Chain A
Amino acid sequence: MKRLKVALAGKPNSGKSSLFNQLTGLNQKIGNFPGVTVEKKTGVCQLDADTQAEIIDLPGIYSLYPRSVDEKIVAEIFSDKRSTSYPNKVILVADSTNLQSSLLLLTQLIELHLPIVLALNMVDLSAKSGQSIDVNTLSKALDLPVVMVNSRNGHGIQELKKILLAPIKVSSQKFYSIDPEILPTVENFKKYFHLESNYEAYQYLQQVENLSFISESDKTFIKQTAQASNFFPGKYQGAETIIRYQFIQELLNKVIIKTARSEWKKTSHQIDKVLTHKVWGYLIFFGILFLIFQAIFAWAQAPMDLIDLSFANLSNWLRDVFPSGPFFDLITQGIIPGIGGIIIFVPQIAILFAFIAVLEETGYMSRVVFLMDKIMRKFGMSGKSVVPLISGWACAIPAIMATRTIENWKDRLITIFVTPLMSCSARLPVFAILIALIIPEEKLLGFFNFQGIALMGLYLLGFLAAMISAMAMKWIVKTKEKSFLIMELPTYRSPNWSNVGLTIVEKTKTFVFEAGKVILAISILLWVLASYGPSSAMSEAEQVVTNQIEIGIIKPEEKENQIMAYKLQHSYAGIIGKSIEPIIAPLGFDWKIGIALITSFAAREVFVGTMATIYSVGNTEDQTTIKSRLREEINPDTGGPRFTTATGLSLLMFYTFAMQCMSTLAIVKRETNGWKWPILQLIYMTGLAYFSSLLVYQVFS
């Protein structure tokens, strides 16, 4: 079996992802480029019986000179011949309805001496616009194979595969001559680094900071040489762009036989009149947000209950089948519930990303950026921060990864910093049980459910905290980098459903694997902390409970649950819970709640399960049992109930603001290249949680 590496490059909105999906179907995986944080999307495509192509989907870019974290990888991939990701062939995906902006990158890639096939995509729209292209002349002028494709229905894919199977020679076309001032230096670099083309060596000069494969000593050498020749990165780039576009303009004058009718975008412009209207635009946007909310809460409930029940049953069944012992306990009580705790969020995440994918596919998301940019800038972010913030309602992990499209570092950092304040789906089970506990199930004016209003209030509170924190950061964080927004507003079109499906699969996978591995690891650790303790206390458990049954304090049928509760109280987690009691007492929490705070440090949803164990409810499926048990709990100091309104509200505040998600910290560390920001985030959010809880408890108690 022969194996090729093929890279897909092209501008955003060129249908590149659809083409990738057409070529690879479900054979996709997401990894990381070695050494850098950018996501690497690859897939396998069977070209013929004995040739496979590994297709690498690159972020959409207009030119080799990058502006965002995402874009940096493209120059890197095409300049590092020794890398395992270096492609044998390149498919340049062009938007047929706008060849001009699609071809800039092509002219640059040709000068890197890459074997390229030009795929003219979206031929359906091009035809609709009334445009005709002379493909033969285009192919001759560029000296490379050209193929027309429609990535929506797969037309032209077979032809594209055939071209990929045959050898593709490097185009001999030249576009840009490097300025004579710097040419001797470039030629020296070419020899020194053993490169094939001058343009490749020129990229070493222009992009020395972006190419991570160049060693530090070589970087210093390049920078010193550049300085000596009066060169700085960015110099000549404008001139280069103009020269390339001159060539492209002349070429297009020759190959576009019939130009597009100007009125083909009329419908799209009319839709824009409504969707970006100063009243309707916002009403529609908030309507869509409301619909998304409704969907996450209502539609996800049934599958979530099913998952919950299945994992509980699996765990119980395994407990019956396996002999008891520390190893099997780890599986049935640590690992299985740990995995269940991850899978349970899949329905909500899938639904949210289904909506986001549809909105992106249709071109509506760019309009949201357009509508919200001015407002978001007041809060130190950009219009592009809206999608990550909305995603934060499902899960902060894919949300933080979605910030990679934000070019400006400060805008991106602020978005990353405040996204975890958006109430994610893991907070929901905690909110649900606490609200049920302290808010009466009555209706305001016979219509609005108090519990529903409370829940909405908590989401609003998280959102406001995110916005206010962002505003504060805007004043604190300093940057020299200029923030900008230059973005295409693509023509509206109906969504490509297979793209939507594949996006859902991809985002869900990201969550399950990125968040999953941390949640699983920590839940095992916490299980150990909650199951083991100083051995004398643990072995006494059974004896103590038996004694209490004999003197009649505990009913015999509660024996098992009471033993578990006793063990948890005397475990390492219990010891930690007790030791933090003085700190959390002013918030209205006792050491039992302290244990739940400790165990939910890795993942907040663990709260409910821990409460169930500690109050020896035993079985966590039945929320009403937990609720009524919590209601009965007496505070020994006051003689009244432990879960007063004040304590409940205080706990709600804590769970709204606290950073209780190890996976998010891990992702923030990766995305910001260090521990500084995740640690600041942890301190800030925990501090915010602590003081709001303190305030609320002191006011209400």
Chain B
Amino acid sequence: MANSTKTVAQMLPGEAAVVSSISTGELANKLLEMGFLPGSAIVYNFSAPFGDPICVSVSGYDLTIRLEEAAMISILN
């Protein structure tokens, strides 16, 4: 389980993965509400010109999140 701690912040353009967990904290519920649910597929689309924020597809729509939030979302792929 070497890469079990990989997060959305480390994904590359075009990469797909499955959300494994959301780190606890005040934003956890907001991320869940927006569709970052454990088990859902996530695709990294592209980042903004300075590398942050990023655009991902999850739960049927495109969302923008900052790298800080992306680091709270653990993935498996």
Known pairs A100-B59, A370-B55, A484-B27; A62 contacts B49 (CB<8 A): no
A366 — nearest CB in chain B belongs to which residue?
A: B64
A506 within 8 A of B: no
Nearest-neighbour CB distance to chain B for A129, whole angstroms, equals 10
Residues of B whose CB lies within 8 Å of any CB of A are 22, 24, 26-35, 37-38, 45-46, 48-53, 55, 59-66, 68-69
State in angstroms the CA–CA spacing of A282 and B64 once bound together. Answer: 18
Chain A residues, CB < 8 A from B62: 265, 488-491
The answer to whether A329 has its CB under 8 Å from any CB of chain B is: no
A247-283: CB near B (< 8 Å → 1, else 0) gives: 0000000000000100001000100110011100110
Contacts of A491 in B (CB 8 A): 62
Chain A residues packing against B (C-beta within 8 Å): 62-63, 65, 67, 97-101, 104, 234, 237-238, 241-242, 245, 260, 265, 269, 272-273, 276-278, 281-282, 366, 369-371, 373-375, 383, 482, 484-491
Rounded to whole angstroms, the CA-CA distance of A539 and B1 in the bound complex is: 94
Chain B residue numbers with a CB within 8 Å of A273 are 46
What residues of B have a CB within 8 angstroms of the CB of A272 in the complex?
45-46, 55
Bound complex: CA of A543 vs CA of B63, how far in Å? Answer: 75
Complex: chain A residue closest to B32, CB-CB: A241
Q: Is A101 a contact partner of B29 (Cβ separation < 8 A)?
A: no
Beyond the given A484-B30, A485-B53, A488-B63, please list 10 additional residue pairs across the A-B interface where CB-CB is below 8 A: A98-B60, A238-B28, A370-B53, A373-B64, A373-B66, A374-B51, A374-B52, A484-B27, A484-B66, A486-B27
Is there an interface contact between B61 and A488, defined as CB atoms closer than 8 Å?
yes
Cα distance A315–B13 when bound, in Å? 65
B66 A375 Cβ-Cβ under 8 A? no
Nearest A residue to B56, CB-CB: A489
Is A374 a contact partner of B50 (Cβ separation < 8 A)? Answer: yes
| 12 residue pairs from A and B, CB less than 8 Å apart | A65-B33, A100-B35, A238-B29, A241-B29, A245-B32, A260-B60, A265-B62, A276-B48, A370-B53, A485-B64, A486-B34, A486-B63
A649 to B64 Cα, complex, angstroms:
44
Complex contact A101–B61 (CB within 8 A): yes
A100 to B22, CA, bound (A): 19
B38 to chain A, nearest CB (A): 8
CB distance from B50 to the nearest CB of A (A): 4
Query: In the complex, which of the residues B38, B49, B61 contacts A281, with contact meaning CB atoms closer than 8 Å?
Result: B49
User: Nearest chain B CB to A483's CB is how many angstroms away?
Assistant: 9
Residue of B nearest to A61 (CB): B33
Which A residues touch B30, using CB under 8 A?
67, 484, 486
Residue from A97, A234, A281, A375 in contact with B26 in the complex, judged by beta carbons closer than 8 Å: A234
Residues of A close to B52: CB separation below 8 A:
373-374
| A98:B59 contact, CB within 8 angstroms | yes
Q: Could you tell me the distance between the alpha carbons of A371 and B34 in the complex, rounded to whole angstroms?
A: 21
Query: How far does the Cβ of B34 sit from chain A's closest Cβ, in whole Å?
Result: 5
> Is B64 a contact partner of A370 (Cβ separation < 8 A)?
yes
A486 to B69, Cβ gap below 8 A? yes
Residues A100 and B60 in contact in the complex (CB < 8 Å), given A484-B66, A484-B69, A485-B65? yes
A104 contact from B22, B33, B38, Cβ within 8 A: B33
Q: List A contacts of B46 (CB < 8 A).
A: 272-273, 276
Determine the chain B residues whose CB is within 8 A of the CB of A281 once the complex forms. Answer: 49
> Which residue from chain A places its CB closest to the CB of B67 in the assembled complex?
A374
Contact at B69–A371, with CB atoms within 8 Å?
A: no
> B53 and A373: CB pair below 8 A?
yes
By a CB distance below 8 angstroms, the chain A residues around B27 are: 482, 484, 486
A373 to B49, CA, bound (A): 10
CA distance A161 to B66 in the complex (A): 42
Chain B positions within 8 Å of A99 at CB level: 60
Contact B50 A369, beta carbon cutoff 8 Å: no
B29 touches A65 (CB 8 A): yes
Say how far A122's CB is from chain B's closest CB, in angstroms: 12
Q: Which of B22, B33, B45 contacts A63 (CB 8 A)?
A: B33
Question: What residues on A are CB-neighbors of B61 within 8 Å?
Answer: 97-98, 101, 488, 490
Q: Cβ of A371 and Cβ of B48 under 8 Å apart? A: yes
A265 to B60, CA, bound (A): 11
Q: Residues of A contacting B34 with CB < 8 Å?
A: 62, 101, 486
Give the distance to chain A from B35, nearest Cβ to Cβ, in Å: 5
A373 with B48: CB separation less than 8 A: yes
Q: How far is the CA of A373 from the CA of B66 in the complex (A)?
A: 9
Chain A contacts for B24, CB-based, 8 A:
238
Query: A272-B46, A373-B53 are contacts. A101–B60 as well, Cβ < 8 Å?
Result: yes
Q: Is there an interface contact between A101 and B69, defined as CB atoms closer than 8 Å?
A: no
Provide the bound-state CA to CA distance between A111 and B75, in Å: 32
Question: Who on chain B is nearest to A363 by CB?
Answer: B62
Most buried by B among A276, A484, A491: A484
CA distance A241 to B35 in the complex (A): 10
In the bound complex, what is the Cα–Cα distance between A488 and B35 (angstroms)? 11
- List of A residues within 8 angstroms of B64 by Cβ: 366, 369-370, 373, 485-489
B53–A374 contact, CB under 8 A? yes
- Chain B residues near A245: list those with CB within 8 A: 32, 35, 37
Separation of A69 and B54 alpha carbons in the complex (Å): 25
Min distance, Cβ A234 to any Cβ of chain B, angstroms: 7
**B42 nearest CB across to chain A (Å):** 13
Residue from A237, A238, A276, A488 in contact with B49 in the complex, judged by beta carbons closer than 8 Å: A276
Residues from chain A with a CB closer than 8 A to the CB of B51 are: 374
Q: Is the CB of B35 within 8 A of A482?
A: no
**Complex contact B55–A374 (CB within 8 A):** no
List the B residue with the shortest CB-CB distance to A367: B64
> Which of B38, B48, B59, B65 contacts A374, CB < 8 Å?
B48
* Central interface residue in B22, B33, B38, B59, by most chain A CB within 10 Å: B33
Residues of A close to B31: CB separation below 8 A: 486
Minimum CB–CB distance from A281 to chain B (whole Å) comes to 6
Chain B residue contacts of A366, Cβ below 8 A? 64
A242 and B21 CA atoms in complex are apart in Å by: 12
User: Across the interface, do B48 and A241 meet the contact criterion of CB distance under 8 Å?
Assistant: no
Q: Is the Cβ of B49 less than 8 Å from the Cβ of A485?
A: no
* Residues A484 and B37 in contact in the complex (CB < 8 Å), given A97-B60, A278-B49, A374-B52: no
